[in-house]
A and B are shown apart, each in its own frame.
Chain A
Amino acid sequence: MSFCKRFAQNRGALVGLVILGLVVLLALLAPFLYPDSPWRMVQRPFLAPGEVSGFWLGTDVMGRDVAAGLAHGAWVSLLIGLISTVVALAIGVPLGALAGYFGGRIDDALMRFTEFFQTIPNFALAIVLVAIMEPSTFSIVLAIAIVSWPPVARLVRGEFLSIKHREYVEAARLVGQTHRDIIIKQILPNTMSPVIVLASLMVATAILLESSLSFLGLGDPDTMSWGYMIGAARTVMRQAWWLSVIPGVAILLTVLALNLVGEGLDDALNPQLARAR
């Protein structure tokens, strides 16, 4: 109860939650709003928004309905953004925690492993991975996760390094808590603030990365995504700007909403801020 209350006190977070809710709703309702495939040509190409009734966002270069694409693309973009972030956290947080907590050889080994991934340019690695595995939603999610976990590991490791010497962690050691309990119960909750903020940004980057892959033709050929829409419209930016702006605004709003929610979560989870507010 107190958690929801605290979250609700943050107006920005509520706004973010509402926007995010709308995007999710749009994604869920897409098959009902636009039962036809978003790939189908339905009208003359390059219709401006509102030019012909029934196509309130216009049509694209191939005469496909932009509104239908937006609705169907929401699902893919959200899915890819969220799942790849969750996977990246699942790799990065434990690695960073172990490296920071135990230090020494373990730290050296894990960090060299992390640097191995960091030295290869993100996008190049993602392209290679998708190309090898053949483009599909699964391979895109995996590729994005694989290129985006190293910063998480670095961040978590840094936080662990500074927190593991705090007196309360030493107190926990003295009462005989196991390493596992100390990592999970004592230190991890205190590292969550920056991780949550980073994660909300990572969802954003993941959506953008997917867009870039789609733009290069490495998107899942069966699914419409916002990134594909922007990519397809890039060549006609001057004739039909709305074709790239509309999905662009959709990405912007979603990312903004995620950031707001992330910040709100962080505040609500932090007992100290709760009172200061």
Chain B
Amino acid sequence: MSEPLRHSGEPLSHSGESLLRIERLSLALPEGADRRYAVDDVSYDLGAGEILCIVGESGSGKSMTANAVMGLLPTGVHASQGRALFDGQDLLAMNEISHRALRGRRIGMIFQEPMTALNPLMRVGEQIAEVFEAHGLLTAKARKERALALLEEVRLPNPQAALRAYPFELSGGQRQRVMIAMALALEPELLVADEPTTALDVTTQAQILHLVKDLQQRRGMAVMFITHDFGVVAEIADRVCVMREGKIVEMGSAREVLDSPQHEYTRALIEAIPGDAVPPSRDEAPAKPLLAVKGLDKVYRSSGGWFQPKREVVALDTIDFTLDKGETLGVVGESGSGKSTLGRCIVGLNTPDSGEIRLNGVDLRALEGRELREHRRRIQMVFQDPYASLNPRIRVGMAIAQGPIANGVNKAQAMKQARDLLATVGLDASAAERYPHEFSGGQRQRIGIARALALNPELIVADEAVSALDVSIQAQVLKLLDDLKKELDLSLLFITHDLRVAAQICDRLIVMQKGKIVEHGSARQIFLSPQHAYTRELLAAIPGRAPHAEPTEAVAI
């Protein structure tokens, strides 16, 4: 650290006194962890009415400071030095009772996962009222009125109905709004938001970011916003604090950090995000179509019990497209758009109701038994969750080799091939002898790719293959996929909710909404001149796109 970085511990003056002041804080991890401190000698200030983004990848310790502030440190982790001063009081030295009085009332928190942060058996209104109840405030009637007012403030459609709804009746974005309403119930001076938009669709994310910013300005709150996404930073932050392995590598105003990052790690993080990059035009050599999908339909029916009506959800509605040899076709859409169902139908995990899936001109749906298996082999899948897609009880080498073994290759040869494949995807061949849990998310995803390659497929369907990964790892895995594609003459069907990722890797794009293809064309064309309103909405919602430019009329809806 020779260069004078902008992260001196002195309080920032522009927004007056600091509300939260972290002083030389270190949080010690239990023995046997991969490093000694989750957070190592960290100092920063958060002024009233300021949004501070804490950015880092998984394992950077970005959430730990927030947990310390909230008194939610996991067991085994403790503060070994430093102070966390909130309005002059040291939160770390405080006992549980006074800390509890502060939580909720003066410090609010929003969690990442709106699915699990709400009690599934309690009506939304009661959950909000419970916040007042916990602090012994207001009468039952007044609590209900406040709950309604709060739901109005976070702009839930039909707040009256929402008050009486159970969490499962609300969408992810609506649930996150309820969480925000709960956090804001007692008008806290500080709001801690731990990745509050990560689990949401892009358009919902944009709305929630807008809401947080808006509420912050109206109420003059301080917001500590934890995120891994520099796009989000560009949208919302006043100041940014970049963390890596428990240390602050850079701190400064959002504009400074985004425009002229000093530290190479920050630069790498920012570069890893394409931001408003437009996909390059790619030469479109006329190629043979590999996969042709025609009139594909799929309706999910829940049979319903004696007293329940049947439910039908249209997942795919007459889908037509072709995928050429050597091409990367992106399928973009939000959750519920049917994009995953499409992928699963193509690999054969789901059975479509009607339609054709032709691979090299052969209709897969007409095949049976051995022939089908022979053709299926040529389409392989890379799954979303690197933690769930590998069997925890099977060694990595075997996990890769079992495909060829199931197809009649002898074991020794299959294992040798598995080791070669591990090298191909950039892992050490010795990895074959180890169990999946010994690898990081990015490494596991490489193993998943190696497994897909083991059967020499012609087409790989990647279902959200990088969305569970950190940005820098994301870039590496995308590059690997792209390289492999060229090297092995593969075609890719790349399913993603993230247009930025799609821009990086795809030649052509299909945009899906509610089971229909609403737009298709070359990636460049879709980014530069989107035709359909939904596509424009998706593009406009990308966080951090053209960070400093005013939104133009063409983009705004």
Contacts and interface: CB of A to CB of B under 8 A. Distances in A.
Interface string B375-410: 011011101110011111110000100110011000
A-B pairs, top 8 by smallest CB distance, nearest first, are A175-B403, A167-B389, A168-B391, A271-B435, A167-B383, A189-B393, A177-B406, A167-B388
A1 interface: no
B437 A175 contact: no
B499 interface: no
A275 B402 contact: no
A31 to B, nearest CB: 42
A175 B406 contact: yes
Interface in A132-187: 166-178, 181, 185-186
20 contacts: A166-B388, A168-B388, A168-B390, A168-B391, A168-B399, A172-B391, A173-B349, A174-B347, A174-B380, A175-B377, A176-B373, A177-B402, A178-B406, A181-B406, A185-B394, A189-B393, A189-B394, A272-B435, A275-B437, A275-B438
A271 B406 contact: no
A190 interface: yes
B389 to A, nearest CB: 4
Interface string A198-232: 00000000000000000000000000000000000
B381 A176 contact: no
A186 B391 CA distance: 7
Given A174-B347, A175-B403, A175-B454, 13 more contacts: A167-B384, A168-B390, A168-B394, A174-B376, A175-B377, A175-B407, A175-B451, A177-B402, A178-B406, A181-B402, A189-B393, A190-B391, A190-B393
Interface in B267-302: none
A174 B407 contact: no
B455 interface: yes
Contacts of A171: 381, 383, 389, 448, 451
B547 to A, nearest CB: 36
A177 B437 CA distance: 23
A109 to B, nearest CB: 18
Nearest to B386: A167
Contacts of A272: 392, 435, 437
Given A166-B388, A167-B389, A168-B389, A174 B348 contact: yes
B348 A185 contact: no
B393 A175 contact: no
Nearest to B344: A170
Given A167-B385, A170-B349, A275-B438, A175 B390 contact: no
Contacts of B448: 171
A174 B381 contact: yes
B390 A176 contact: no
A175 B455 contact: yes
Contacts of A174: 347-349, 376, 379-381
A178 B408 CA distance: 12
Interface in A223-272: 270-272
Contacts of B393: 189-190, 270-271
Interface class of chain A by DSSP: helix
Nearest to B454: A175
Contacts of A173: 349
Contacts of B402: 172, 175, 177, 181, 185
A173 B377 CA distance: 10
Contacts of B383: 167, 170-171
Contacts of B454: 175
A192 to B, nearest CB: 8
Residue among B380, B389, B391, B407 with most chain A CB within 10 A: B391
A3 to B, nearest CB: 13
A266 to B, nearest CB: 12
Contacts of A190: 391-393
Interface in B327-376: 347-349, 373, 376
A275 B434 CA distance: 12
Contact of B380 (A167, A175, A185, A270): A175
A190 to B, nearest CB: 6
Nearest to B438: A275
A178 B370 CA distance: 12
A9 B140 CA distance: 56
Contacts of A181: 402, 406
A176 B407 contact: yes
B252 to A, nearest CB: 39
A158 B258 CA distance: 51
A200 B451 CA distance: 37
A223 to B, nearest CB: 40
Residue among A169, A170, A174, A275 with most chain B CB within 10 A: A174
Contacts of A176: 373, 376-377, 403, 406-407, 455
Contacts of B391: 168-169, 172, 186, 189-190
Nearest to B376: A176
Contacts of B403: 175-177
Contacts of A177: 402-403, 406
A268 B348 CA distance: 36
Nearest to A169: B391
Interface in B472-501: none
Contacts of B379: 174
Nearest to A163: B391
Interface string A98-116: 0000000000000000000
Nearest to B391: A168
A176 B349 CA distance: 12
B291 to A, nearest CB: 16
A185 to B, nearest CB: 7
Contacts of A189: 391, 393-394
B81 to A, nearest CB: 28
Contacts of A168: 388-391, 394, 399
Interface in B100-119: none
B521 to A, nearest CB: 30
A178 B407 CA distance: 10
A171 B377 CA distance: 11
Contacts of A270: 392-393
Residue among B384, B390, B392 with most chain A CB within 10 A: B392
Interface in B208-237: none
Contacts of A185: 394, 402
A271 B376 CA distance: 32
Contacts of A172: 391, 402
A68 to B, nearest CB: 46
A92 to B, nearest CB: 21
A168 B389 CA distance: 4
A94 B393 CA distance: 20
Contacts of A166: 388
A207 B547 CA distance: 72
A271 B388 contact: no
A167 B468 CA distance: 14
Contacts of B438: 275
A187 B347 CA distance: 21
A185 B407 CA distance: 16
A108 to B, nearest CB: 13
B326 to A, nearest CB: 22
A185 B451 CA distance: 16
Contacts of A271: 392-393, 435, 437
Nearest to B448: A171
Contacts of A275: 437-438
Contacts of B381: 170-171, 174
A181 B401 CA distance: 14
